[in-house]
Amino acid sequence: MNIIFQRLDAELKEALKARDELKLSVVRMLKASLKNKEIEKMGALTDDDVISVLTTMAKQRRESIEQFSAAGRNDLAEKEKKELGILQSYLPAQLSPQELDAVILACIKESNAVSPNDMGKVMKLVMPRVKGAADGKVINQRVKELLGSGS
């Protein structure tokens, strides 16, 4: 966990030297969010806490991209996409669709889910296994599809 803070400090210095305003802004925002989480928790952050903060920030960017694109503000959507790219560099590697499907199918078997009504059981098993490695919306969609097709 200390590694992420060291990496953020190093990249903050690099961004300052390179005058990379966007990266500087994102790294500062991330450090502030992590510090706020640390204060909220009243103690040191675990790796799960850091991933949780990163995932939340990435989700916010994705939602902003959708809203800006729908409103025709492609300039702002583009900025959010760049910020999302920087945030994703700190997250664990994202699962491929095949890897995600394998995890979901294993959880479906494990929970004996047979219909979309059992989606909660499956999501409860899938989410801890893929924490930070896949977008919740994508997971939700794939679980619906796999349960709907009667896999």
Asked whether the predicted pLDDT for residue 151 surpasses 50, the reply is no
The domain limits of the chain are: 2-88, 97-148
The pLDDT confidence band at residue 131, using thresholds 50, 70 and 90, is confident
The per-residue pLDDT for range 50-67, each reduced to its tens digit, is 888 988 898 899 999 999
Concatenated DSSP letters for 65-107? HHHHHHTT-HHHHHHHHHHHHHHHTTSPPPPPHHHHHHHHHHH
Arithmetic mean of pLDDT, 87-113 = 85
Question: Would you say the CATH fold of 97-148 matches that of 2-88?
Answer: no
Which class would CATH give 97-148? mainly alpha
Output the CATH code of domain 2-88.
1.10.1510.10
The per-residue pLDDT for range 108-125, each reduced to its tens digit, is 888 888 878 888 888 888
pLDDT of residue 28: 93
